[in-house]
Structures are given as C-alpha cells and as structure tokens.
Structure 1
C-alpha cells in the first residue's frame, strides 16, 4: 500500500452507522485551509485566527445551504495525533451528513485516508513506535478489562521502554567490542568475555520472559481456554448453554450427541473465557464418536482450565474411566475443577455416600467436588467463582509486560536464536569482529520490533559518549 504523506487526508473516525454524533478527521499541512470555504463559526472569527485545542461551534455551508451545525477543533503540528495539523469536526451522526461532509472535504483538496494512515503518519513522525501503533489497534478491539489494560500498557510505552533498555545494554556491549577492534594493535581487552557472557545472559532472560508471555497474551485477548469434559450425557452441553445464557450447544438425552467440539467466548468477572464443549469420554465402537473423543482429548491438552463434569447418578466405573482419560492427557500447568452434576436427582439417603464413593475412586477429597445442577442452575455461581479464582492465579500480574502480537512473538523467537549464536561466539572465543556481527544482528532484530533502525553512527556515538579514552 502506497502512502503520499504530503496529501491532506480525511476520514470518518467513528463507527459506521447512525448515532448522536460522528467525528470526521482531517490531517496534513495547513489543514485549516480546507475549512476556509466550508466552516463558518457563530463568533464570525476568521478561520486563520482560530486557536489550537479550542472548540469552535458553527455551520458547514455548501452553495448557500446549511449542511450541519458542527464543532471544530484544531490540533496544531506537532502537538497532534499524527504530528501534522489535525482538524476534528464533530457533526450529527446521520450517515447522509457524514457522506456530504466527506464529499465537501474531498472537493476542497482532501483525499480519503487509507486504513491505518493516520497512525502510520503518527509512527513516521515519531509520535509512537511500531509496538505502540499495534497497541492502538488492540485498544480499539479490546473486549474486556484485561485486554484493555494490556493494550493501554503498550500504548503508554511499557513494551517500548523495555526494548529500549535491552537495546541500550546491547549497544554498550557492541561499543566495548568495537573499541577492542579499534585498539587491536595494542592488545587491550575492553570487553571481558565472562562479563559479556553474563550481560548477554541477562538480555536472554529478559527476551525469554517477553517471548513466553505470548501464551498469556493470547489467552487474555482471545479468551482463557476452558474445556468442559466428562462422560456422555453428563450435562456438558446444558452447562455450556447456562454459562453462555444461550442455546449454543444441542441438548439431548441420547448419549454421544456432541460429536465435535463447540466453542464460544464470554466475559465473566472481567475475564474473557473460551469455553469448549467436548464429546463425551467413554469406550465406543462408533468410528465418528471415537474421532470426537480423540478431538476432545486434544482440547484437554490445550486447555488452561478443565471442568471435569460427571453425572452424580451414573456408575462409578464410568466416572472413573472418563477421569482416567482426562488425567492421562492433562498438561502439568493446567488446572482442573471436579464438578458433580444432577445432584438434584440423587436420593437424600444416598447423597453423601455416593459423593464419597466417587471421590475415593478418582483419588480426591469429597470437598474438592463442586456439586451442581446445571439444568436447575443450582450452585452455578460457586462454579463461576472458583473459575475466576483459578484464572486470576494463572494470569500474569497487571504490571507485567505481556505480548499477544504474532509479529512480535516471531521476532522475539528470532532474537532468542540470534542471542544463542552470540553466546556460542563467546564460548568459542571467536574474534571481536565476528562477535560484533552477532551482537549487531540481535540489536537489528530488536530495532525491527520497534521500527527503529540501529545505525553505525549510533554505535559510534555511544563509543565516544561513554567509552572515549582521553579527549
């Protein structure tokens, strides 16, 4: 996509549709001039005299006809979103008015902005780096408070600052090695190899933390994966429907109705979950059902939290078989909630003894089993509360830097590989020029993350700033 950054651009910045108000944005050099023949403030002030960051009420007039009554605000360069002059026009939210206003702006020298062009201009003018630009889009699409906080943290530059700290460390390392090359004839060692190894290990640890945060970031953004598993006809589909508060999954008294995993997301207590209703776990000769069971097991291995749901009225051996399948495939980092369903169908005189028999067969304490009736929505609040506590314990703290962008994840993987090559160069005691080459590669990849190129002049500048000998 080609961008001409000398153009005046305009776009409707509010969502498509009818609303009380809409915002039309203009950006470019001398953006005010576009309004000279269109906007007439009620104060009769000349457009050239309006002051930045002040709202002006007036009318948009075309060929003697009032198009709309609007509020205009001018953000003077460079103190604007894009770094250029920016005009924001608040008009009524009629789609007709929005179209008319856009047409008038185009007739007066603007062109329609391409997707992302305002933020592209902000990046190129140094208002933000690439990670912050990506976070703007994440902020717009945030679906819950946690993804909002994660995006806002990156917009404010938390990830950028961490990368800058890593770049500074690497720049110092390269500068030391470059100094050795400059004074190679004098056999001076500025960069002790053990010290270098220690410093590069620190960088490696920091990068690995960022890299490993991707899974948490994806869970926050797309929903923590929660698999509802158990024997057929245990009420898994009913439970999913009650949690989602909609008939998402087919409910039937016939065991094995769910043949494939059904997924949907919902936000509960400010946390996004991706619930997965799976095929029932049992011994089966039906090839299609067996395939569904295999897929259920695959979902178990990928879930953060597993709700093992069983019918409290069913046979102990059936419950144990399903539980054994789950426990054999559960990930070490996953958490499991044991839930007995249909407790309303248990006779009172069998209630306690049946739960105790079940707990003994699957080697857990009776108190570890949550007792519910999904159909009657009995004790579902307790299940949601336990789910929330588990999720909160598994998610990173709010002050952690978390990535969830695939581009960033892949670059961090490349950085780890490049750091590995650097460590190998140190261990093999390779020459300074080869070591400097490996370090530059790491630094260049970090620059790709932020969109900042590391130039030889920056390395030279750092040498003379911090490591110059004499004057």
Structure 2
C-alpha cells in the first residue's frame, strides 16, 4: 500500500443538498486544488485557513466555493488535505471531482482516508474502526462508546498490557541466549502475577461485549404472551403511536412487527409477536414459530398477560415454557383498568410462582413509563457508568479470547516447559493483542476492515 497518490471523494452524503464537501488528500492535494482555484494562491497559504474563490475549468466557472487547507502533518490523514465546500448540486459536485481527477487525483476507495490516517500513525486500528462506529451511531450511548474508543481509551489500556508483556518476553528471550548457563532473568513469580493481572482485565473486557454489542446494535426486546393479551396495544403505547393493528379478535398479529424505542439514550428493538397458543391454521402456526424464534434471540422478554382472564395455573405454565438461560424476563399484568372494583380485584398470582410483576393498562397507558424504566434496568442496570471501556467489535472479542487462551498456556506451562516454549506462548498473546490495535496487520485484514467504510471517510 502506497500513499504517493492524491485521492479525492465526496465527504458528504450523495444527493442534492445545500452544501457538498469534496475532500482531497495526498502529496499533490494543494497543488491540484490550486490549479483549478481562482482566488488566493493556495500553495502560499498557511495551514488551517479558509479561502473564498471559484473553481474554474479553463474559462468556465463551475462554482463559488470555500477551500479549507490542512498542511501535513496537521491533518486527519497526516498528509496535505484540501476540503472544497461547494453548492450541493449533484452536477456541480460531479463536475468538480471530474476536473480534479483530470488534474492528477484519483477516486478514493471506501475508507481510504481513514486507512491513510492509520498507516500514517494518526490512529491505531481500533480507533479507526471507532470512526465507522461513530458515523453509524444512532443513540447517545452508542455515540459515547464509539467516541471513548476513538479517543484511545481502549487502545491505551491494551498498550499498557502489551508493554508489560513485551518486557517479560525480552527477558525470556535473553535467557535463551544463556541457555547453557541455566540462568533466569525473568522472575517466574512476577510473571505469574502479571499474567493473572492481565487476565483479570481481559476477562472484564470480554464480559463487556454483551453490553457493548447491545448498545451498538440495540437491545432485542420481545413482547410475547397469549392471544388478545394486548401485545400490539402495548407496542403502540410504548412508541406513543398507532404502529400495530389492534383488534379484540384473538390472533390478529400473524407476523412479527419491529420498531426502535430509545430509553435513556439506549435503543431497544421492540418486537411485537404473534400470540402463543395452539395454532388454528398454517399461517398462524408460522407466526407462533417465529415468535418462539424471536424469544430465543432476545435479551429482554416482556411477558404480557391479561390479568382479568388468566388463571394462576395458566400463568405458571407460560412462565415455565418461556424461561430461557441468558434472557431477562419481565412479567407484566395488563388490563388492570378492568380490575378496579372491589368485586373484581387484581388476582393473587403467587401460587403460580410469580412473586413480582408490573400491573399496567396498555389501553389507558397506565404505568407505561414505569415499564420503560424496568426494560432499561433489565438490559443495562448499573453496568453503564460512562467512563468504562466496552468491547463492541466481534474482531476485538475474538482477539481477546485468543489472548486469554495463550496466557492460560503460559500459566499452565510456567513450571514445566522450557523458556523457548514459554516465549512462543507469550509471543502468541502479544500477536493477538497487537491485532486489535494494528501493531500486527495484514493487507487482507486492512482491506476487510476499511472496505466497510463509506467512500469519503
């Protein structure tokens, strides 16, 4: 991979808008921009300045623009960078880019600006990936997690671990040079203490993935229950809009309906499902099967039951059939507006084994805010404090797991294997840690990561 070419791309979204920003990066970025700019001589201007003028193709004025200059190494890519702010006409943007290509630039590939930032040492690999996460963030929490990683919180933590391991690896390598003299430079007790300390940090990072991934992608939250329990009405109440068709006829919902609800900065992917019962036809049977599939994929299950109709025995049967490992279930008693008289009180469901449930009325929107907070607590609880490092990338998770396995081999063999094998296991751990930050890379890895970026970033 070489950076001797100057690249160009539209940095703002495609389509007509008020403004479009065209980005150039590379050794000839300023020279190329200056060759088509009518105004001040851009080659003689200082970095971080903005200049008004026109983009011209010979005698033809294409547009009046603002040109921003960033002279290497004080730029996003650490190369010369020029950003041309023009009017957002698709024709104007295309004409300017074609002109810049004619003058010596080439079209940038997806993610190539950020790739150059990584190759030039402006960002490490995990920070570069955080750029894509930041662009894709769709909630306050996902934005904060991506921003924390972009600022290097994750990287600095890993680098500290890696530096300590490198020191011990160097001492063990030194032992190999004096193998015949049977000397020990790396204190095994100190090495064991260090590995146990590193493993605690790595396990904490690995365990953070479940929360980090949920914040990044949204928390799968399924609303399930018997037909006519009010699931679609509850979905509408949570969203505060008429999203699902509501009917008193059981079995109205035949397929899943998915919508996003933001609670306290976290996106929850609400899934309204078909009622769970013995299906009366083939279509309903498919709907019930999809319900069970969605339940198995959920992080939070809102089990909704009609408090005015269900018996304790039926409730107990439902709870036992729906309880799944790794899924937090919230029991919600609906239609309490029908149970407000002394002659028709809220039943005692304790014989079903249910000790705690939230009474609501989806129709009257009673206690809906309380339910939202319970959904939030079920998924997040006190896990999110704002300054912790969360793993959100499956590539990082796999590298951490492999690091943990390599360090386990070091611990297992510390008293039984020779220094050369011990050194190999430590190098394996260093390799996997290095893959996360980009200290260890391959062209295939970089192409796979940056090809998922948008063009212009």
Whether 1:170 aligns to 2:165 is yes
Cα shift at 1:266: 2.6
| Mean Cα deviation higher: 141-150 or 297-306 | 297-306
Give the structure 1 partner of residue 430 of structure 2: 443
Give the structure 2 partner of residue 28 of structure 1: 26
Show structure 2 runs of 5+ residues with no match: 442-457
State the aligned residue count: 440
Give the structure 1 partner of residue 199 of structure 2: 204
CA pair 96-359 structure 1, distance change in 2 beyond 3 A: farther
Of structures 1 and 2, the one scoring higher in RCO (CA 8 A, sep 6+) is 2
Cα shift at 1:59: 1.4
Give the structure 1 partner of residue 453 of structure 2: none
Cα shift at 1:284: 6.0
Cα shift at 1:102: 0.8
| Mean Cα deviation higher: 379-388 or 140-149 | 379-388
Whether 1:193 aligns to 2:197 is no
Whether 1:363 aligns to 2:350 is no
| Mean Cα deviation higher: 201-210 or 130-139 | 201-210
Cα distance in structure 2, aligned partners of 1:10 and 1:167: 37
Q: How does 1:396-407 map to 2 (within 5 A)?
A: 396-407=384-395
Whether 1:80 aligns to 2:75 is yes
Show structure 1 runs of 5+ residues with no match: 455-471
- Cα-to-partner distance string for 1:407-448 (whole Å, 9 max, x where unaligned): 212222222222222222215x10001110111111111111
Q: How does 1:254-333 map to 2 (within 5 A)?
A: 254-282=249-277, 293=288, 296-316=291-311, 317-326=313-322, 329-331=323-325
Q: How does 1:9-48 map to 2 (within 5 A)?
A: 9-41=7-39, 45-48=40-43
Give the structure 1 partner of residue 450 of structure 2: none
Asked if structure 1 preserves the Cα contact closer than 8 Å seen for 2:219 and 2:268, the reply is yes
Cα shift at 1:212: 2.0
Cα shift at 1:25: 0.5
Output the aligned Cα RMSD: 2.4
Cα shift at 1:307: 1.7
Cα distance in structure 2, aligned partners of 1:76 and 1:404: 34
| Mean Cα deviation higher: 151-160 or 334-343 | 334-343
Cα distance in structure 2, aligned partners of 1:145 and 1:282: 39
Cα distance in structure 2, aligned partners of 1:295 and 1:177: 56
Whether 1:338 aligns to 2:331 is yes
Give the structure 2 partner of residue 421 of structure 1: 409
Q: TM-score, normalised by structure 1?
A: 0.86
Cα shift at 1:285: 7.7
Asked if structure 2 preserves the Cα contact closer than 8 Å seen for 1:72 and 1:88, the reply is yes
Cα distance in structure 2, aligned partners of 1:320 and 1:251: 27
Give the structure 1 partner of residue 418 of structure 2: 431
